[in-house]
Amino acid sequence: MTAPHDPTSGEQPERVVIRDNRKIDPVTGEARKASSAPAADEPEHLPAAEVSEGPMVEAALLDERTRDLQRVQAEYANYRKRADRERLAAGEVAIGSFVTPLLAVLDDLDRAREHGDYTGALMAIGDKLERTLQMAGLREFGREGDEFDPTKHEAVIHDESDAVSVPTCTKVLRKGYTFKDRLLRPAMVGVTDPLTFTVPITTEAPSDTNGEPEEDASREATSESETPGS
């Protein structure tokens, strides 16, 4: 038995559903047809369009998440490459800063070779130092006969000669050095430029219509004016 509803309680009364499941109508005595309407407590089926859109939405979301993941992976790969380049560049700068003061020692070894003092223990130590620096990436440049390059050579002497067709390094006063394709010090050289020829410019006095110079014509005119008339 259902308790009477109290209007002051604010609660909705429980709904009572009565279903007549008899297959024969008690009034007419005829068999009833099965109803195609779903029961009140049975869930309704979703439309076919809504059912078919479910997998499509999931596939679109999967594609979007896949693209996001690929983008993040590409950004991370670019970051690693950039970080590796910056680390290598920083290492090269540090080594180059350490090698630069040693260039003065190499200059002293070159002067010892020129004076014939590069022998014995000095030769052994000098050769070992040069090999070590070359293995680290140090390269020397600046030889007689090289074409002059203002980005690599420092010209301190200039002369001209017809023996060269382009500005050429004909004297090396101090070698230049690079480290890992980075210029540490330019080479100090003397440069010979191609000989330039000066073409003389000649001027001729203008002539009159008869081919005589104007000076002669003016002289004749003056002499005629000075002659007394008859």
Whether 26 maps to a domain, the answer reads no
Whether 2 maps to a domain, the answer reads no
Which among 92, 121, 136 is the end of a domain? 136
Whether 90 maps to a domain, the answer reads yes
Whether 75 maps to a domain, the answer reads yes
Tokens of 150: 């203002």
Q: Indicate the SS3 state at residue 7.
A: coil
| 180 C-beta neighbours (distance < 10 Å), count | 16
More confident residue, 120 or 212: 120
Mean pLDDT, rounded, for 148-167: 93
Whether 40 maps to a domain, the answer reads no
Residues 64 and 111 in one domain: yes
More confident residue, 164 or 32: 164
Q: Which of 1-15, 69-83, 138-152 has the lowest mean pLDDT?
A: 1-15
Q: Where does the pLDDT of residue 230 fall: very low under 50, low under 70, confident under 90, or very high at 90 and above?
A: very low
Contacts of residue 185, defined as CB under 8 A and 6 or more positions apart, other chains included, come to 100, 103, 176, 177
Domain that holds residue 172: 139-201
Give me the CATH number covering residue 194: 2.30.22.10
Q: How far apart are CA 45 and CA 230, in angstroms?
A: 146
pLDDT higher than threshold 70 for residue 1 = no
pLDDT higher than threshold 70 for residue 55 = yes
More confident residue, 113 or 30: 113
Please give the tally of structural domains in the chain.
2
Beta partners for residue 179, in sequence order: 138, 182
Q: What is the pLDDT of residue 183?
A: 92
pLDDT higher than threshold 90 for residue 139 = yes
Residues 185 and 117 in one domain: no
Q: What is the pLDDT of residue 9?
A: 58
pTM to 2 decimals?
A: 0.52
Mean pLDDT, rounded, for 47-54: 54
pLDDT digits (tens, 9 = 90+) for 64-114: 899 999 999 999 999 999 999 888 888 888 888 889 999 999 999 999 999
Residues 72 and 120 in one domain: yes
Beta partners for residue 191, in sequence order: 158, 169
Which among 116, 136, 156 is the end of a domain? 136
Residues 160 and 185 in one domain: yes
Residues 116 and 188 in one domain: no
